[in-house]
Amino acid sequence: MTDGIWSAILGRFTWTALPFVRAWETPTISEIIGAGAASVVILGAILLATLLTVYRAWRPLWSEWLTSLDHKKIGIMYVVLAFVMLARAVIEAVLMRMQQASAIDTPGFIAPDHFAQLFSTHGSIMIFFMAMPFLTGIINYVMPLQIGSRDVAFPLLNSISLWLTGGAAGLMMVSLVIGRFSTGGWSGYPPYTELAFSPDVGPDYWIWAVTLGSIGSTLTGLNFAVTIYKMRCPGMTLMRMPLFVWTSLCTSILMIFAMPPLTVATALLALDRYLGFHLFTNDLGGNMMNYANLFWLFGHPEVYILILPAFGVYSEVVSTFSSKELYGYTSLVLATMAIAVLSFTVWVHHFFTMGQNADLNAVFGIATMTIGVPTGVKIYDWIWTMFRGEVRFTVPMLYSLAFMMTFVLGGFTGILLAFPPLDYLVHNTLFLVAHFHNMLIPGLLYGMLAATHYWFPKAFGFRLNEKWGRISFSCWVVGFYLAFMPLYVLGAAGAARRTQAFFEPAFRPWLYVAGIGALILLAALATLFVQLWVSIRERDANRVAAGDPWDGRGLEWSIAAPPPEYNFAVVPSVAGRDPFFDGKRSGAAYAAPARYGDIELPRNSATGPVIGIVGAATAFGLVWHIWWLAALGTLAVIVAVIARSFVRDVHRIVPAAQVERETERWLRTVSAARAIPREIETTPANQGLAQVPA
């Protein structure tokens, strides 16, 4: 009787689900590491709650941030989430490299099952809960400013998307504290994630975290696409949009069409596990290849969902810090669209080893090589943009240059892997691990870090510390080459990926070098946080309130730093691709509006936080078979949506007098600022007013 009540209340939960209990009962190094990780999560949550209480920040956090529908604040929260998840994923990567370096003819310090959880969480976090929030946050912040809009098309949907992603990330963090995570990798392949092989809660954590995140990303894609299509300011035709907006548009379209196959795949896998449907089993009519096709229908466009926004960032950075108009604008637009279309034609190259016929492999191999052509066009256009320009080697520009060199090397290995016979030999080796890190780290991470450094002054009104930025950049680049280039050699020598221990002594020196590289990457992450701390401490000396610290070209630089909540006092009208840059040269950049009007903005709403938190609770109930919690959570989501539909007072008015007062104050700041030449733009002399050459 007692067991039945306990099961009804807590589902599958038992005390051994807690890592502390497991570490007490079996005090191995592997279990102690797991308990330590759970302790960090718990202590971090307690410390955060304590600080918020001590500084009485709960109310302003809720009223000014968590319930905000301002696209800028939502973008910042996405980026904060990405950095938190990046910290966990990098630490897990270092643990894996240390384990492999120490496990040559010995077991090492991490058990095989724990190692499998590490590579599953590392991949899942990096793709779904670091990369996706990072790029979504940057687009959220920058894109509406670049098109002269006051907000995205659906501000409430924007908040819901953020909180679905945050709830999914929270579920990933909870898996550290209660239960275990999946051992089926970031792709969740059956049969490894079927009940017969993984009856525990790990795959269920993966399924519901990914499902919540994929729904959020689908809604985000719809929101961004409608915003770009319908909310551009007067005069901004499609071929006048900044390249970052073009890449954001193509990314949004990819989200709309690529994320649903993933949601379907995880939903069908859930039916297998919860209701015995046998869709992906090896018997009773199931076929695992259906899952592989569904997953990679998402998976390869996902690669370009990650890369295209970075391409847009590099276009903005290279043009700005070369003091030149972007070379080959039309070809860059066409290349972006070509990549978006071709990204849906190459998914089978992810399973060249799974038995389809040679003709099919040849078609997808050729398509894979073809997609390298528009990427090459972009590299050449950026090089020509820099040619004879006044190139300034700021931190964003350094990331852009490092990307070009490293991404080209990774692209060469991609062409090699497009040959099905060669791919067959190295697909399940560390060669492939080296290749996709060679594409994603410079392609996504460098791009987002460049974007953070580039637009941080706009978002917060002060520049990031240049010295620590260069130190972090150096660690990222050196650490990358040391951590991943040896994996090409190991993979070519036959070292299998996802391997907890090796038995070939010749691998030892390469694994040691890769381990050192992983530690340097950990230092790179640490120096990023040091840079942020130093920058905040020195913020008064590096303020750029005038709003244009880099001699920018687009509309985002034409307003104060940080921008007002309504973005523009008057919606701008443009007549070219670089409206602010041209306005500075003609003397019209800082003209006061002829008249001011009231501005309508959306009111804050708790709907997003409620749906995200309750959605995560519902998922947790499904993971642990706590059916009452899952039912209550589902009901609460429905009630929240219905209740929101009855709310009528959803807008507020910013009076024209307030807009005029704030705009005039900013224009006085601009008039008082000293225009500085590019040579000293990284010094405290930079107040956000760039000198216009004679």
Query: Given a cut of 80, is residue 3 above it in pLDDT?
Result: no
Query: Given a cut of 60, is residue 268 above it in pLDDT?
Result: yes
Give per-residue pLDDT as tens, 188-202.
999 999 998 999 999
Mean pLDDT of 302-311: 95
Average pLDDT score over the chain: 94
Give per-residue pLDDT as tens, 144-175.
999 999 999 999 999 999 999 999 999 999 99
Mean pLDDT of 310-318: 97
Q: Do residues 214 and 259 lie in contact, with contact meaning Cβ atoms separated by under 8 Å?
A: yes
Please report, for the chain, the start and end positions of each structural domain, with discontinuous segments joined by +. 57-230+237-543
Helix%, strand%, coil% for the chain, nearest 5: 70, 0, 25
Q: Do residues 385 and 332 lie in contact, with contact meaning Cβ atoms separated by under 8 Å?
A: no
Per DSSP, 557 falls in state G
394 SS3 class: coil
b/e burial code for range 181-198 (CB count within 10 A of at least 16 → b): bbbbbbbbbbbbbbeeeb
Give per-residue pLDDT as tens, 91-126.
999 999 999 999 998 999 999 999 999 999 999 999
Residue 254 CA to residue 299 CA, distance in Å, equals 11
What is the predicted pLDDT for the residue at 283? 82
What is the predicted pLDDT for the residue at 309? 97
Mean pLDDT of 478-500: 96
What is the predicted pLDDT for the residue at 8? 83
| Superfamily (CATH H level) for 57-230+237-543 | Cytochrome c oxidase-like, subunit I domain (1.20.210.10)
Give per-residue pLDDT as tens, 235-266.
999 999 999 999 999 999 999 999 999 999 99
Residue 603 CA to residue 9 CA, distance in Å, equals 39
Give per-residue pLDDT as tens, 369-381.
998 899 999 999 9
Give per-residue pLDDT as tens, 385-424.
999 999 999 999 999 999 999 999 999 999 999 999 999 9
**Degrees to nearest 5, angle at CA 280 with 279 and 283:** 85
Distance of CA 664 to the CA centre of its chain: 37
**CA distances (Å), 14 to each of 21, 142, 647, in order?**
10, 47, 43
What is the predicted pLDDT for the residue at 694? 62
**CA distances (Å), 468 to each of 113, 322, 634, in order?**
38, 22, 47
Mean pLDDT of 221-225: 97
Band the pLDDT of 7: cuts 50, 70, 90. Answer: confident
Query: Given a cut of 60, is residue 1 above it in pLDDT?
Result: no
Q: DSSP states of 248-295 as a string?
A: HHHHHHHHHHHHHHHHHHHHHHHHHHHH---SSSSSTT--HHHHHHHH
Residue 454 CA to residue 309 CA, distance in Å, equals 14
Band the pLDDT of 2: cuts 50, 70, 90. Answer: low
